[in-house]
Amino acid sequence: SYCMCGTSSRQYALHGHRANCARLFSALRERIRAGGLPKLPVPPLQQTLNMYLKCTSHLITEEQLKKTKAIVEKFGAPGGMGEFLQKKLLERSEHTANWVYDYWLEDMYLSNRLALPVNSSPVMVFPKQNFRSQSDTLRFAAHLISGVLEYKSLIDGRALPVDYARGQLAGTPLCMDQYNKVFTSYRLPGPKTDTLVAQKSTVMPEPEHIIVACKNQFFVLDVVINFRRLNEKDLYTQLERIRKMSDIEEERLPPIGLLTSDDRTQWAEARSMLIKDSTNRDSIDMIERCLCLVCLDEPSGTELTDTNRALLMLHGGGTDKNGGNRWYDKPMQFVIGADGSCGVVCEHSPFEGIVLVQCTEYLLRYMRGSPSKLVRAASMSELPAPRQLHWKCSADIQTFLTSSADKLQRLVKNLDMNVSKFTGYGKEFIKKQKMSPDAYVQVALQFTFYRCHGCLVPTYESASIRRFQEGRVDNIRSSTPEALAFVKAMDVEKMELLWTAIKAQTNYTILAITGMAIDNHLLGLREIAKELKLEKPELFSDTTYATSIHFILSTSQVPTTEEMFCCYGPVVPNGYGACYNPQTDHIIFCVSSFCDSAETSSDLFVKTLEGCLKEMQDLCTKCNTEAKPADSTKRKDGTTKVMKNGSKS
């Protein structure tokens, strides 16, 4: 294993390293204060190759492991391909703010051809609202838009407080670049690769506007008129007008938003056809340049359980509900259902989940702490009417719409979701065991998968690397050999092995957040070889590599301080998406899978997970009860020996 600075465990054990490392990070913080964040480091090649073998050896057959070891040894040999590519990566690092950012963005998002809903776009589900009338719904929408404009003004004025790392290595300032893309970017579909378009600020910016989706129609709501921002009363008036305009049957146009729910290549083709007409081109331009979407949804007609509200946010309920009342290419779509089902749909390529959390928590606090100003505010005497966007649909576009609608319906029927609140205990109990709540839950997820399927599989857990310039995420590979040893162990050995698994998870987390994990590094080596037009190294055509990036278990911790939760779909057809939100006395789990996979079941996974969490609690409680003062002893050097239950004398 390695220290946070990349030092091996053997060197780490040497006297004085801990102090030296602390001084290194102290100097790093001073450098941040003096001249900005450091660049993302390029990990040592041999460190990554050794870790790659450790992360995959217990997930493949002995025969495959033998073959992979030979391939890795050849790749990492002195003077070999690995050293050459490592040198090129180091050169790239010298000349770019972040050597992996462009590679990562294309690989993770832009080259992915799957449809955005469920497969890529996470959602945040708000507490259920109790709207008694249409006026209540529009008041809520006006209040929320007012909060959005306040938040945007903080971003524009660079007045947002700097984020600092929490959890492992807490206190380090984080890169704030992602916030600048929340209301100014757009994912443009392409035939092979999408483009993340960021609007450039100008000396005289155009009037800002929001797009309101209502009954599958799109309306332009100007929020700045004659250089003055609309107050909440004016926003309410305009929303009321939009609602009335959407009721006019004769003005009802086809649900063009459905096209954005299709796979990216299909949508790119349909968009190219759409913009041949100037009316369509102008309408798309207005949507692409808007701050965000506000989707006023019709009642869904379903019981609004946590699971059903999550499903409605993820795909709108399909074409017969609100599936066409979306435009998935925009980063922020605020959904306000007449039945009280509300939340946010996020296009993920411009920013990470924590940015979504910070924005939505600000809005919920704003709405709770800032009373509605509908009565007191002075309104504009004459407001220009909102404009409905128009479309001209050829027979070809109608064909695309039919195809998109059919695929969305299949996606809706295929998604198997279970949102569960585990109330046995929360992060407070875990912290009392002197364990990291995140590491504990990750080990519980491995335990659960093993119980359900009898093996472990490559697992993805996102780890923020915002400590570095333009940092996004790397992967914590949670299916460690130590986790496998724990889940296979008999009761008598379990506590010690649980501690070992927690420690391994925590150590890998530290590697990841300090830029020393393997996934981004391997991606960089693969992509720079492609960039240099070299033959693909055997390391990346090996079956083990393909297996290692097929993430059957895709996980993410998204903690919130407000009453809401995040969820998303699986990233592979036979996989699970598992998002969790640890609170003081409970943990919210959002588990997703696909119905057409015979290998998965979200309900079974959640039921098994609850049992595993209970077993882990019983194990901790039992060991704490049996622990005696004599269990801890002093070594000759005066340090305390930690016993199996983690207690110290």
Whether residue 270 contacts residue 259, with contact meaning beta carbons closer than 8 Å, is answered with yes
Residues constituting the chain? 649
Q: Which two three-digit tokens encode residue 134? A: 């249409």
Helices 395-414 and 264-274 cross at an angle (nearest 10°) of 150
Amino acid, single-letter form, for residue 249: E
Report how far apart, in Å, the C-alpha atoms of 418 and of each of 126, 551, 605 are.
Answer: 16, 19, 9
Whether residue 82 contacts residue 76, with contact meaning beta carbons closer than 8 Å, is answered with yes
Q: Which two three-digit tokens encode residue 25? A: 């990070």
CB proximity list for 563: less than 8 A, separation 6 or greater: 127
Cα radius of gyration (the chain): 26
Neighbours of 132 (CB within 10 A): 8
Report how far apart, in Å, the C-alpha atoms of 455 and of each of 58, 86, 448, 487 are.
Answer: 10, 34, 10, 9
Catalytic residue among 348, 453, 550, 586: 348
Report how far apart, in Å, the C-alpha atoms of 265 and of each of 210, 400, 495, 616 are.
Answer: 27, 12, 50, 46
Q: Which two three-digit tokens encode residue 524? A: 């960089």
Amino acid, single-letter form, for residue 418: N
As a three-state string, the secondary structure of 455-505 is: CCCCEEEEEECCCCCCCCEEEECCCCHHHHHHHHCCHHHHHHHHHHHHHHH
CB proximity list for 360: less than 8 A, separation 6 or greater: 124, 126, 344, 562, 564
Residue 348 annotated as catalytic: yes
Amino acid, single-letter form, for residue 178: Q
Pick from 581, 543, 335: nearest CA to 438: 581
> Which of the residues are catalytic?
348
